Structure 1
Amino acid sequence: MAEQYNTSAPRMAVKVPINSDLLRKARELNIDLSATLEWALKEELSRGIAAQWGKENRVAIKSYNDFVEQHGCFGDEFREF
């Protein structure tokens, strides 16, 4: 699967407000904040891209589903299960 963003892009420092107790507890456990934020953003990006794709292709998806409901799935006649 192709990357959804440039993984070799330079890093950039940002200022993000965060719950102070959450930050304290994460630091106590030596959680890598940068890696955790990047992981969370990548997950959100994936969900957002998937949702956007679904919206952009909803007409085609509905059309295909209607076709399958009416005529069956392509290759049904060859199924042995």
Structure 2
Amino acid sequence: MQAAETTKSIRKPTNLSLDSALLKEAKMLGINVSRSAEAGIAEAVKLHKQRKWLKDNARALASSNAYVEANGLPLERHRQF
């Protein structure tokens, strides 16, 4: 969520249904529920995008890994480690 914090974003009021006991505890602890919900949603979006990218690119990754297994790294002789 760092990118969202460094740029000005338009905030939109939203209604959420939350567990009442959890909401009460969060308020007692002084937790900013809106910011915490936003952080949780941002993390869920990030994870979803990661999984989707891996799924969408699975064939290319498998092909690349198979090539390296069969032939080694293309410029391996130039590696200094």
Do these two structures clear the TM 0.5 threshold for a shared fold by scoring above it?
yes
Residue type matched to 1:30 in 2? G
Displaced runs of 4 or more, over 6 A: none
**TM-score w.r.t. structure 2 length?**
0.81
**What is the RMSD computed on CA atoms of the aligned residues?**
1.8
Name stretches of at least 5 consecutive residues in structure 1 with no aligned partner: none
Instruction: Tell me, in whole angstroms, the C-alpha distance in 1 between the residues paired with 2:50 and 2:39.
Output: 17
Unaligned ranges ≥5, structure 2: none
Q: 1:26: which partner in 2? A: 26
Where is the helix percentage greater, Structure 1 or Structure 2?
2
Scaled by the length of structure 1, the TM-score of the pair is: 0.81
Structure with the larger RCO, 1 or 2 (CA within 8 Å, 6+ apart): 1
Shift of 1:75: 2.2
Alignment size in residue pairs: 77
